[in-house]
Amino acid sequence: MVGKNLLLILCLTGFSFVQAQEQIHEDLNRVIRKHGLDQSQVMEIASWLTDIYGPRLTGSPMLDKATEWAVEQLRSWGMENVHLHEWGPFGRGWEMKHFEMHATSPNYFPIIAYPKAWSAGNNGTIEGEVVYLAANTVDKLNAYRGKLQGKFVFLDTIRDVDEWFEAPAMRLDSDALLGQANANRPTPRRFRNYRRSGESFSQSLWRFLANEGVAAVVDRSYKGDLGTVFLSGASVAEGSAQEEGQQIIPQVTMSVEHYNRILRMIDKGLTVSLSMDLQVAYTNEDGMEHNIIAEIPGTDLSDEVVMFGAHFDSWHTGTGATDNAAGSSVMMEAARILLKTIEETGVRPRRTLRLALWTGEEQGLFGSKAYVGDHFANTDNFGNLIDVLPAQDKISAYYNLDNGTGKIRGVYLQGNTAVAPIFRDWLEPFEDLGASTLTLSNTGGTDHLAFDAVGIPGFQFIQDPVAYSTRTHHSNMDQWDHLIEDDLKQAATIIASFVMHTAQRDEKLPRKPVE
């Protein structure tokens, strides 16, 4: 064990760069720790974002209410230039008004299930027979023509459910962190359009189901058990469900235990009937959406900026706690900590500090890509760099948090080797909080990629996975109760220190070459 820990330490300090040690502002860190660890408000912020203003589906009225609350909260703390950045058009929003589903024959039982976002509703309670659609080609689909009207169509097979003999939550151990530290430099990747040319079976399937007039389409996710349901948005034959005029079928994802039970009954030759009442509303008439922006002005380098943020939107089944009220609450709390630290020490940031809370992340990083495109670079439709704008040179860094409730264990460097010795020095005061790992690798699917894509140093923090992928990410169990207070306090404290130290440097953070 001693040898392994020594190897880990050597690996974390092994980047081959010679650079003067970064100045560590110990007095600032001491005050940041006090407000972040001893006088935290992060769980209260998270409760407002989840219990009161969750879920926060992009385009929904609840997201608008959450945005109004956050704007007022930031202003009340003393943040300046608090405003909304408009982007779009995104398309129509969606709100679930009422949902219930029951098995009615051959016997009654209530069903755990959730409608997919942007699913159509139905007029009052409907009842129909379950049909399992055993088709994976157009020819096999044709065998069902004229037989599915008013039916609940099941698309997935039975999925075996294994009992959990190990805990679904975990921390990163020394082996996992060593693997991160030893990772090679990542290969740069551009944002891509993944739409295929030609008619796919999926397109044929959804067009066929719409024409048949089915009551609803039911599936079960590839993971989840014990009543945990993972799902996202409704499917359409072409385009997106947010587009006006789309023909959308009512779509539901059922808990695997209830889905399996119904298929086993059908396998025994029994007729199973379901009832469903799904009431929805399509919202957001102008199709536009908004990011939340707020600042703490700088002093002698005020024309330069340090940004920190997280995505504010969520999916609709839980209250969007670990994805991503955790990140948004931490970043709001980091802003509050910084304001309190400035007030107590009298030390103001040299660079302007800019908080950003993004929307449309779940549908494709839309909010952050739009902001980057409006302020820092000309980009193509996917967010790839065409050429930079003058303001691109004025931003020192963007820090992001979007991997659940787990504590920070270090930083993904995104292949930016030159920042390694800087971040190593900044992490050293927080080794007692478990944060010490640097990895050259990147991580995908978060808003820092919009900045990294245009040559701005953009970073996501390494976090303990806890039960993010096994229990809470995009599930009905994404609730406040699964947030870990000490982890969020630790994250807000470290991020506040990183932001302030970035602001106080004589130079901006070093950059990777821009392609």
The SS3 of residue 100 is: strand
Residue ranges for the chain with pLDDT beneath 50: 1-18, 197
Classify residue 127 by burial, with Cβ atoms within 10 Å: 0-12, 13-18, 19+. Answer: middle
* Contact status, residue 21 vs residue 463, Cβ threshold 8 Å: no
pLDDT digit string, tens, across residues 149-167: 999 999 999 999 999 999 9
pLDDT digit string, tens, across residues 438-493: 999 988 899 999 999 999 999 999 999 999 999 999 999 999 999 999 999 999 99
Q: Please state, as a whole number, how many other Cβ atoms lie within 10 Å of the Cβ of residue 504.
A: 19
User: DSSP secondary structure string, 157-214?
Assistant: PP------SS-S-B---HHHHHHHHTPPPPPP------PPSS--HHHHHHHHHHHHT-
Instruction: Give dist(CA 449, CA 372) in Å, integer.
Output: 10
Domain architecture of the chain: domains with CATH: 2-91+286-504 (3.40.630.10), 93-177+195-283 (3.50.30.30)
Nearest to 42 by CA among 267, 327, 330, 446: 330
Q: Specify the pLDDT at position 195.
A: 53
Classify residue 468 by burial, with Cβ atoms within 10 Å: 0-12, 13-18, 19+. Answer: buried
Instruction: Give dist(CA 258, CA 260) in Å, integer.
Output: 5
Q: In angstroms, how far is CA 251 from the centroid of its own chain?
A: 23
Q: What is the phi/psi pair of residue 74, to 5°?
A: -65, -40
Q: Specify the pLDDT at position 12.
A: 45
Q: Specify the pLDDT at position 193.
A: 65
Nearest to 90 by CA among 371, 285, 357, 325: 285
pLDDT digit string, tens, across residues 255-288: 999 999 999 999 999 999 999 999 999 998 899 9
Q: Specify the pLDDT at position 181.
A: 84
* Contact status, residue 399 vs residue 461, Cβ threshold 8 Å: yes
Report the b/e string of 130-164 with b at 16+ CB within 10 A.
bbbbebeeeeebeebeeebeebbbbbbeebeeeee
**Tokens representing 223?**
């993971």
> Model-level pTM?
0.93
pLDDT digit string, tens, across residues 391-412: 999 999 999 999 999 999 999 9
